[in-house]
Amino acid sequence: MYWHGHPIEEARLWVHQACMSPSPTTKKGFQPMRMANATINCAKIIEYVFTSGFDPIISMQIGAETPDAATFTDFEQVYDAWVTQMKTIFSVLVRAVNAARTMAPDMTPRPYLSAISERSV
Residue boundaries of the structural domains of the chain: 1-30, 36-107
Q: What does the pLDDT look like over 54-109, one tens digit per residue?
A: 999 999 999 999 999 999 999 999 999 999 999 999 998 888 888 887 887 788 77
| pLDDT at residue 117 greater than cutoff 70 | no
Angle between helices 42-50 and 75-107 (to 10 degrees): 140
pLDDT computed for residue 87 by the predictor: 94
Residue 15: which H helix or E strand, with range? Answer: strand 15-17
CA atoms within 13 A on the CB side of 90: 7
Separation CA 23–CA 27 (nearest Å): 10
Separation CA 15–CA 13 (nearest Å): 7
Q: Give the residue from 59, 57, 58, 77 showing the smallest Cα distance to 67.
A: 77
